[in-house]
C-alpha cells in the first residue's frame, strides 16, 4: 500500500525517458501513473479490462500501451505531473470535480426515481362504480 492506494501484484514497471513519471501495472488489469519525483504521488489510474491482467507495457513520449492476458492492447495518454493531458486526449479524463458532480447527479436521479416508484405504488384507483372513460 502506498499513500492509501493498494496495488495488486506488480506485473510491469516503466519510467518515462525524462524520468518525471512512471507507470506500474498489475495482474488485476490496472495501470497506475505515478509522479517519479518528490512528492511521489499517484497521478492517474487506468482501468483496462476485467478479463485479464496486464502482461506487457511500452512507453512513448505522450502515450503508453498495455497488453492484456486476454489479447487486448490498449493505448493510453500520459498525464503530465501538473495534471495536464495532451489536448487530443483531454476529454477522456475526469477531474475530481467531475467525479463529484456525476455522483451528485446520480444520487439526485436515484432519489427522484425512488419517489416516482413510491408514488406509483400509492397511485389513484378509480371507484369500481364510477363510469370508465375509454
- The H or E element containing residue 91 is none
pLDDT at 65 over 50: yes
- Indicate the Cα dihedral angle 112, 113, 119, 124, nearest 10°: 120
Least Cα distance to 48 among 37, 61, 64 occurs for 64
Q: What is the share, in percent, of the chain residues with pLDDT greater than 90?
A: 7
The pTM for the full model equals 0.57
| CATH number, residue 28 | 2.40.10
Q: How confident is the model at residue 85 (pLDDT cuts 50, 70, 90)?
A: low
Q: Are residues 14 and 66 in the same domain?
A: yes
The Cα–Cα gap between 86 and 9 comes to 30
Residue 124's pLDDT is what? Answer: 47
Q: In total, how many domains does the chain have?
A: 2
**Per the domain annotation, does 98 fall within a domain?**
yes
Q: Are residues 21 and 57 in the same domain?
A: yes
Least Cα distance to 64 among 52, 37, 46, 88 occurs for 46
Listed in sequence order, the residues at least 6 apart from 134 whose beta carbon sits closer than 8 Å to its beta carbon are: none
Q: Are residues 74 and 23 in the same domain?
A: yes
- Retrieve residue 15's grid coordinates: 519510467
Q: Are residues 23 and 67 in the same domain?
A: yes
- The H or E element containing residue 1 is none
Amino acid at each position: 500500500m502506498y499513500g492509501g492506494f493498494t496495488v495488486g501484484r506488480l506485473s510491469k514497471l516503466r519510467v518515462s525517458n525524462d524520468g518525471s513519471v512512471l507507470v506500474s501495472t498489475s495482474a488485476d488489469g490496472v495501470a497506475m501513473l505515478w509522479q517519479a519525483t518528490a512528492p511521489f504521488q499517484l497521478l492517474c489510474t487506468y482501468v483496462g479490462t476485467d478479463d485479464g491482467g496486464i502482461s506487457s507495457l511500452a512507453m512513448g513520449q505522450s502515450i503508453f500501451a498495455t497488453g492484456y492476458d486476454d489479447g487486448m492492447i490498449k493505448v493510453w495518454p500520459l498525464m503530465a505531473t501538473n495534471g495536464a493531458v495532451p489536448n487530443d486526449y483531454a476529454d477522456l479524463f475526469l477531474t475530481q470535480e467531475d467525479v463529484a458532480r456525476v455522483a451528485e447527479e446520480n444520487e439526485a436521479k436515484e432519489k427522484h426515481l425512488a419517489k416516482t416508484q413510491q408514488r406509483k405504488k400509492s397511485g389513484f384507483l378509480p371507484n369500481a362504480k364510477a363510469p370508465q372513460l375509454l
